[in-house]
């Protein structure tokens, strides 16, 4: 996908299998059988995005890494495929100059550090929300893969960019704060001329949330704020020349919102 002269390429690190219960105890597959088509489950990507401008190679989200997490019927995450996708694009870990993590859940920062805590992307600066540092890295009681927490704590501080407000990362690549799913959750805006693409992380997990505003994510740290921010983003996606994709959208397909009486998702 091209946004002006910026190349935007979706990649997946593996599979996120979600049952209706991922979206809340009250959620059933009824009316959404297409989405939960595989034995009552949705098979979704663990999405990442590669952004290439003339001079920069930026990765948005770093997958699950060579790891899995099994929460039974509600959620199963199996990572490990991101290096293959990068290689297919002719990109080596050392080519990546910047990694932006939309948030620090395990399926978005899993490749940042190897099992010894050493950086996987040796030249990359890492950008993420400051409040996620306090929530995840600094709090030993919040679950995080041990080697990722260790890697963050041992990392060269000059390479870590903790952000708490909308920030420009590179020409045409901006961070906007979209808290709720996690305290420091952010989204990335890729823009060129009048065209914009929003990389939504888990601020919108699934386009169905447009029609089903009570669908949450079991990962939402502040569900009420997450719902507010989701609606704000859906409104933004009503704009002309704007498309968006979340990290777990089916096939990582971009879409937008058709406004008006027949308001609906156009994928
Ligand atoms: Zn996620």
| Distance separating alpha carbons of residues 184 and 208, to the nearest angstrom | 24
Q: What is the average per-residue pLDDT within 6-34?
A: 97
Alpha-carbon torsion, ordered 166, 163, 244, 251, to 10 deg: 170
pLDDT, one tens digit per residue, over 47-59 is: 999 999 989 999 9
Q: Residue 43: its pLDDT value, please?
A: 96
Contact 202, 180 (CB under 8 A): no
Q: Residue 53: its pLDDT value, please?
A: 95
Find residue 163's DSSP bridge partners: 129
195 Cα to the center of ligand 1, angstroms: 26
Q: What is the average per-residue pLDDT within 193-209?
A: 97
**Torsion sign (Cα): 82, 42, 208, 253:** positive
Q: Residue 208: its pLDDT value, please?
A: 96
pLDDT, one tens digit per residue, over 63-84 is: 999 999 999 999 999 999 999 9
The owner of tokens 């009316």 is 31
Q: What is the DSSP string of 11-50?
A: EEEEEEEE-GGGG-TT--STT-TTTTTBTTBEEEEEEEEE
106 Cα to the center of ligand 1, angstroms: 8
Classify 176 as helix, strand or coil. Answer: strand
48 Cα to the center of ligand 1, angstroms: 10
Contact 201, 187 (CB under 8 A): yes
108 Cα to the center of ligand 1, angstroms: 6
| Distance separating alpha carbons of residues 27 and 40, to the nearest angstrom | 12
pLDDT, one tens digit per residue, over 161-184 is: 999 999 999 999 999 999 999 999
Q: Residue 36: its pLDDT value, please?
A: 96
121 Cα to the center of ligand 1, angstroms: 21
Average confidence score pLDDT of the chain? 96
pLDDT, one tens digit per residue, over 207-260 is: 999 999 999 999 999 999 999 999 999 999 999 999 999 999 999 999 999 999
145 Cα to the center of ligand 1, angstroms: 14
101 Cα to the center of ligand 1, angstroms: 11
The first and second tokens of residue 259, run together, are 């406004």
105 Cα to the center of ligand 1, angstroms: 7
Classify residue 134 by its DSSP letter: I
**Half-sphere exposure (CA, 13 Å, Cβ side) for 173?**
22
Contact 188, 47 (CB under 8 A): no
120 Cα to the center of ligand 1, angstroms: 20
pLDDT, one tens digit per residue, over 110-153 is: 999 999 999 999 999 999 999 999 999 999 899 999 999 999 99
261 Cα to the center of ligand 1, angstroms: 31
Predicted TM-score (pTM) of the model is 0.97
Residues in the chain: 267
125 Cα to the center of ligand 1, angstroms: 21
Contact 190, 152 (CB under 8 A): no
């Amino acid at each position: 996908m091209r946004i002006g002269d910026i190349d935007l390429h979706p990649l997946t690190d593996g599979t996120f299998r979600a049952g209706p219960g991922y979206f809340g105890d009250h959620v059933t597959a009824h009316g959404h059988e297409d989405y939960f088509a595989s034995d009552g489950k949705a098979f979704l990507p663990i999405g990442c995005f590669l952004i290439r401008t003339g001079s920069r190679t930026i990765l948005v989200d770093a997958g699950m890494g060579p790891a899995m997490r099994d929460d039974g019927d509600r959620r199963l995450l199996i990572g490990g495929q991101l290096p293959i996708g990068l290689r297919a694009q002719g990109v080596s870990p050392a080519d990546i100059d910047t990694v932006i993590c939309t948030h620090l859940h395990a399926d978005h920062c899993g490749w940042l550090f190897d099992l010894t805590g050493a950086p996987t992307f040796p030249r990359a600066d890492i950008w993420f929300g400051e409040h996620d540092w306090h929530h995840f890295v600094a709090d030993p009681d919040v679950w995080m893969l041990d080697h990722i927490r260790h890697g963050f704590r041992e990392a060269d501080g000059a390479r870590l960019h903790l952000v708490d407000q909308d920030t420009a990362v590179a020409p045409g690549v901006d961070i906007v704060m979209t808290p709720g799913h996690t305290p420091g959750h952010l989204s990335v805006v890729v823009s060129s001329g009048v065209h914009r693409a929003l990389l939504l992380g888990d601020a919108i997990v699934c386009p169905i949330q447009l029609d089903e505003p009570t669908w949450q994510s079991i990962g939402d740290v502040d569900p009420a704020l997450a719902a507010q921010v989701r609606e704000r983003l859906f409104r933004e996606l009503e704009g002309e020349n704007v498309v968006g994709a979340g990290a777990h959208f089916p096939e990582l397909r971009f879409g937008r919102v058709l406004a008006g009486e027949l308001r609906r998702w156009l994928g």
